[in-house]
Amino acid sequence: MMSDRPLNLLLVDQDPIFRLGLRVALEAMLNLQVVAEVETDTAALQILAELTNQDPDQVNLVVLELGSGRSIDSQLQGLEFCRLLKTSYPNLPILLLSSVQNSEILAAARAVGVNGYLPKGTPASQIITVISDVATGGSHWVLDPNPPSVLISPPPQMLLLRLWQNQCVSGINYVNDSLAKVTVQLQTPGLPILDRALLAGQRRELLAARWLLNHLLISAPEQSPLISPTEELPVISLPSVIVPTNVEQQLTLLPEINPTALQFDLFSACINKLHFSLENVTKVPLEIDILREDKKRELLYLILQKLAKQIEDLRAAKITIEQLEGYKNTILFEVWQATVTDFFGKFSQVRIGKQNIEVVKVLLQNPRVIQAEILNKIPFVVELFSYLLFHTDLYIDNQAYLADSHDAKTQALIILENLMIQIGNGVIQPLLNYLADVEVIKKDFYTRQLISTREIERFRNDLSWKYRLNNYVNEAKAIFESRYELFVLAPRGIAKTSIYAPRNEELARLSGVPLFVTLGLEFWDAIAPRLQSLLSFLGSGIVFVLTQVIGRGLGLIGRGILQGIGSVSFQDKNFKRNSERQK
């Protein structure tokens, strides 16, 4: 080791026994420290976002298993995760400590930027040596000793061509990432007009730059006919390397975008947005508003993890698109239940009077209210899961979006953010119903502004009025106007946006007060233009009477008075002059 500072490692592996054994072996060394160990890729993204936000050097190396090691689909998912890590953290080394031995998969991992590979079963002493080497900028690859391979020694012209194409592809990727960020910022609700104009100009410039780079890539000078102009070639850092004969063919067969890649990109974007302020800037009270910002962020992170777990279970079960609608409520309920259990602690207890109350047991005792009032009313859940599981196009806001487009990702991100926030409200609602004023809970979870008994009761009353208005007025109005109100994560905090959706079936089922609300809106729409015309006519008449009749009359009277006063003054002056002459 070149420094006395210990290397900080992140372990990612689905096997908890293997993680435990590796952690014990690594932490026996003074210069190695495991800062976190996680089971899933989503959890790894969350931990990295949290740690690197505090200190960019908080993690020096990621040690991970490439998928579960049991199927090609899982290994391809691991490749997409490695690609996402290298895109988000280009200077963070990655070491595969994996049971995967497929030479094509390993070559693909090397092509996306993974820095080293060791098979599971390698002695601990060798693992420690390789970790130190890779973390300090080295590279280590142990492949199958007898792979079908050939020695490739590309000529100088080929290396120049590969360099040219790699530079162009790198530029296109950079432009696409910048374009996606600008597009997301343009979708921010309530964006000032000046900022929107500046972002629109940046978007036009990026589109022009992408067009230019695409044409440069296609018209590369002295292009070899053996290489497709649209194929992204792996970067070669040595004059000659040993590569399996069918690696390039295998890499071209790997899909550029698949459902797993969409999920990684979407969840990564959501994790990045969770670093924004989480203050509620709408006029609608939310249950999660009672939480401290760090607890609010922790809750939304946890919900995202549970959603990722549910999606992986659905993918493993090979569920069909047609079955999603039937499983929707079950999926949301399981996510809510698992989040409540983990967020408050499975064995957490509070003392009320002379009894010790199990927090989770109390909070889960009446789930029907949460399902009816919150979970079952979350929109576009089936569309989001279909997009993530089957790479289907999105039809949102009366517009179709191709699954691999940035606009589709933007719309899916809005749906995902609203889903997380609404499930978070469902997690906190039973706490406010049953254990709102428990001091231990207030100390651990509540924000300073809502910690007194009076403020808590006022907050609960605001929520009660919100649900009354929603049930009788707001929901009926939204159905009649064919739209949904969604909560999103914006740079200024939790904001609200509106999305069009056909809701004719719900409109036909309305009855009672909500039906009268829609009838009242329809009646108002019918008479409003006529009433406005009548008021305009009456207003014009009143203005005419006041100005032309009364105003002119008052003007004539005033002028007569002034003239009379002027005549009297003139006569007084003449009288005085005559009197002086007589004297």
Q: What is the DSSP letter of 228?
A: -
Between CA 507 and CA 514, with CA 509 as vertex, the angle to 5 degrees is 70
Share of the chain above pLDDT 70, in %: 78
User: Given this model, what pLDDT does residue 164 score?
Assistant: 55
The angle subtended at Cα 153 by Cα 148 and Cα 156, nearest 5°, is: 155
Mean pLDDT, all residues of the chain: 79
- DSSP three-state, residue 5: coil
pLDDT beyond 50 at 247:
no
pLDDT of residue 44: 85
222 versus 556: the higher-pLDDT residue is 556
**How large is the average pLDDT for residues 554-581?**
67
507-518: b or e for each residue (b if 16 or more CB lie within 10 Å)? Answer: eeebeeebeebb
- Alpha-carbon torsion, ordered 363, 360, 493, 260, to 10 deg: -110
Q: What pLDDT, on a 0 to 100 scale, did the predictor assign at position 218?
A: 46
Among candidates 57, 66, 42, 67, which has minimal Cα distance to 91? 57
As a whole number, mean pLDDT of residues 184-198 equals 66
Reported for 289-296, long-range contacts at CB under 8 A and 24+ positions apart, including other chains, are 289/447, 289/450, 289/459, 290/428, 290/432, 290/445, 290/446, 290/447, 290/450, 290/456, 290/459, 291/428, 291/445, 291/446, 291/447, 292/445, 292/446, 292/447, 292/448, 293/447, 295/444, 295/445, 296/424
pLDDT surpasses 60 at 354:
yes
pLDDT for res 497: 92
Please tell me the least confidently modeled range out of 45-49, 438-442, 447-451. 45-49
pLDDT band at 213 (very low <50, low <70, confident <90, very high): low
Residue 572 is predicted with a pLDDT of 61
- What CA–CA distance (Å, rounded) separates 403 from 390? 10
pLDDT of residue 280: 94
What letter would DSSP give residue 432?
H
Strand partners for 37: 11
What are the Cα distances from residue 533, in Å, to 259, 526, 546? 55, 12, 20
226 has a pLDDT exceeding 90: no
Instruction: Indicate the pLDDT class of residue 195, thresholds 50, 70 and 90.
Output: low
Q: Which helix (H) or strand (E) holds 50?
A: helix 41-54
SS3 helix, strand, coil % of the chain, rounded to 5? 60, 10, 25
The torsion angles phi and psi of 63, rounded to 5 degrees, stand at: -110, 120
Confidence of residue 191 (pLDDT cuts 50, 70, 90): low
The pLDDT of residue 249: 36
Question: Is the pLDDT reported for residue 143 higher than 70?
Answer: no
Write out pLDDT tens, residues 485-506: 999 999 889 999 999 988 888 8
Q: Worst-scoring range by mean pLDDT, 200-214, 442-456, 458-472, 531-545?
A: 200-214
pLDDT digit string, tens, across residues 252-308 = 333 344 566 677 778 888 888 888 889 999 999 999 999 999 999 999 999 998 998
Superfamily of domain 7-149: Response regulator (3.40.50.2300)
| Residue 186 pLDDT exceeds 80 | no
Least confident of 31-45, 341-355, 512-526, 534-548: 534-548
Residue 413 in this model has a pLDDT that exceeds 90: yes
Look up tokens 């990702």; give the residue.
409
Flag whether pLDDT at 509 surpasses 80: yes
What average pLDDT score do residues 97-109 get? 83
Q: Name residue 399's beta-bridge partners.
A: 396
Least confident of 121-125, 175-179, 541-545: 175-179
**Rounded average pLDDT over 377-397:** 91
User: Quick one: pLDDT at residue 583?
Assistant: 56
Q: Give just the sign of the alpha carbon dihedral 321, 323, 329, 334.
A: negative
CA nearest to 82, candidates 94, 73, 99: 94
pLDDT tens figures, 67-83: 765 667 778 778 888 88
Please determine, for residue 357, whether its predicted confidence score (pLDDT) is greater than 50.
yes
The model's pLDDT over 418-437, given as tens digits with 9 standing for 90+, comes to: 999 999 999 999 999 999 99
Identify the pLDDT of residue 185. Answer: 72
Query: Does residue 344 carry a pLDDT above 80?
Result: yes
Q: CA 433 to CA 283: how far, in whole Å? A: 22
Contact at 8 Å (CB) between 54 and 36? no
Q: What is the pLDDT of residue 227?
A: 33
* Residue 215: per-residue pLDDT: 58
Model confidence band, residue 581 (pLDDT cutoffs 50, 70, 90): low
Q: Which residue has the higher pLDDT, 94 or 161?
A: 94
pLDDT for res 55: 76
Residue 237 has pLDDT above 70, yes or no: no
Dihedral sign (CA 453, 458, 464, 470)? negative
Residues 492 and 185: beta-carbon distance below 8 Å = no
CB 425 within 8 A of CB 375: no
Examine the pLDDT at 395 and tell me if it is beyond 60: yes
Query: 103-107, 173-177, 459-463, 539-543 — which is least confidently predicted?
Result: 173-177
Phi and psi, residue 355, nearest 5°: -115, 150
Q: How many residues does the chain have?
A: 583
